[in-house]
Structure 1
Amino acid sequence: MSVTFVVRQLVLRVRQVFTHFDNPWAILWSIATRRQDVVFEVDGLRVRTLNSPAAWGPVLEVFVEDEYAFEWFTGDLRSDAVAVDIGAHVGCFAMAFARRFPGGSVASYEPTPSTGEYTVGNVETNGLAERVTVHRMAVAARTGSFRMADNGPGRAHNGVLYLGQAGSTTIEVAARSFVEVMADAGDTVDLVKLDAEGAEYDILLGTDPGLLAPVRRFVLEFHPSPDHHFGELRTHLESAGLELVRETSLGPDLGLAWFSRDPLDRTA
């Protein structure tokens, strides 16, 4: 990685802080002075996370880069929309959804114990606890326990994808089956977001596609796997009546995919 590239990325991030957040100087001061946490204020929300690029990167993905294409993908959902957020991180997606749909609700799942502290804190600080329910557990094909890598609180790279990597700690957490998650969500689920750092294959391929009958929209981040590939996920979701409407590559066998049960403009 060249010095020029690093400098350009730094300049870009500083520009993004000033153009998208309401407290740019406080953010930069926290980062520069190496405070333990950094708080991002955006559109009336306060998002606290560990002061590390691996922890606040996902905050920028949601509120700066619009990684999940909120406007396009959720613009026509009902005002009391219901969402399921699997892989909640510090709560950015869930809080952005709740802010967009004042009558809506989110069932949010975050398995990393130390990250879950931030998730719960952010939801409560922003007065969203009545509409965003944080479940501090993993989602899997079966209820029980779940082995994953923990690289530290708030860091995005926690999950099965990083098991055995240098510097990571293997932990075991409680897991709830996707069947139970969907049953609790109700008869109509407007949106499922799945970013489980490699566990998406177990969650989806290990569950009957008929389970997804109540789901109107589904967005997922898929990751490299020695045993599976994105095509299997696509086939599984399409067999449930969800059509691929957009796909974005983020690298080899890594990307985002959006599925919809009803027609959606792919070019918007």
Structure 2
Amino acid sequence: MYREFKKRFRTFKNWWRFIPPCNRARHNVVARLRDGTKILIRDIRSDDYTTLMDMACGDMYLLSEIKNPSVIVDVGAHIGIFSIIVARRFPNATVYAIEPDTENYQALLQNIALNGLKNISPLNAAVAGEYGSTPLYTSPSSVAHSTVDATVGAETKMVDTIPLSKFPHIDVLKFDAEGAEYVVKEIPRTSYLAIEIHNIAGQDTGKLEREVMSKFHIIKKDVGKSGHITLVGVGG
């Protein structure tokens, strides 16, 4: 309990909003980080908050390994937490924040405006092998919508798609898109890569992992309980 309190105190200026009894006001809470970053959390019991804690407290993607990028691409931007953190850290870089879900995308726009950032270019689309459209299978969890895994939820909507070849040069690529990693033609070589390889029926997780490991020096590998693999690599 004390460890969790300490983590929140170190991370947030308004830390009391995230501990009982003050956390009873759950909806539309602005998390104010010690470094000045502001993130609108739609529900503090949702994936918005857990994702923020992973990024802000756990440094799940080893951001200290990113060196002076000019182009950053965030595939599966969700509400913009990664995009905003790196856009603030590297103000001379252009950050492309790609998010297909309309509700997540609107929250992303709000968070960009909340931080007054001009170096983030938001794109309401999914990443695929080519330009076009694809079904987006929506999940009750805002971080689990997928263009590949139809088992995540009953609702489906069509979204635009763009290929990674849209970006002729990428320094930093963060890729967490619930299976879209299997439908891009290839993972490009970049200076830094953080990718989530999802364990989805019918997809060859091992093959994709080997492709990534052949292109990058892997500095972090985590395997989740569901079989999802997180890889962070440099020097591609």
Structure 2 residues without counterparts, runs of 5 or longer? none
- In structure 2, distance between residues paired with 1:49 and 1:56: 6
Alpha carbons of 1:248 and 1:208: their partners in 2 closer, same or farther (altered >3 Å)?
Answer: closer
- In structure 1, distance between residues paired with 2:222 and 2:29: 29
Residue 226 (1) aligns with residue 201 (2): yes
- In structure 1, distance between residues paired with 2:229 and 2:29: 28
- In structure 1, distance between residues paired with 2:31 and 2:159: 29
Query: Percent identity between the aligned chains?
Result: 22
For the residue of structure 2 that corresponds to 1:251, the secondary structure is coil
Residue 93 (1) aligns with residue 68 (2): no
Q: Which residue of 2 aligns with 1:151?
A: 139
- In structure 2, distance between residues paired with 1:257 and 1:70: 13
Structure 1 position 116, deviation (Å): 0.5
Alpha carbons of 1:19 and 1:208: their partners in 2 closer, same or farther (altered >3 Å)?
Answer: closer
Structure having the larger proportion of residues in helix: 1
Task: Please say if residues 146 and 152 of structure 2, whose CA atoms lie closer than 8 Å, have aligned partners that are also in contact.
Answer: no
TM-score by length of 1: 0.78
Task: Please say if residues 90 and 116 of structure 1, whose CA atoms lie closer than 8 Å, have aligned partners that are also in contact.
Answer: yes
- In structure 2, distance between residues paired with 1:87 and 1:65: 19
Residue 46 (1) aligns with residue 33 (2): no
Structure 1 position 13, deviation (Å): 4.7
Alpha carbons of 1:92 and 1:165: their partners in 2 closer, same or farther (altered >3 Å)?
Answer: closer
RMSD: 2.4
TM-score by length of 2: 0.87
Please show how residues 1-268 of structure 1 align to structure 2 within 5 Å.
Answer: 13-28=4-19, 31-34=23-26, 36-42=27-33, 43-51=35-43, 52-71=45-64, 73-74=65-66, 77-78=67-68, 80-128=69-117, 130-151=118-139, 155-160=142-147, 163-165=150-152, 168-180=154-166, 182-183=167-168, 186=169, 189-203=170-184, 207-208=185-186, 212-213=188-189, 215-238=190-213, 241-261=215-235
- In structure 2, distance between residues paired with 1:99 and 1:142: 31
Structure 1 position 237, deviation (Å): 3.0
Task: Please say if residues 49 and 56 of structure 1, whose CA atoms lie closer than 8 Å, have aligned partners that are also in contact.
Answer: yes
Deviations 1:115-146 (A, max 9, x none): 10110111112111x21111011111121112
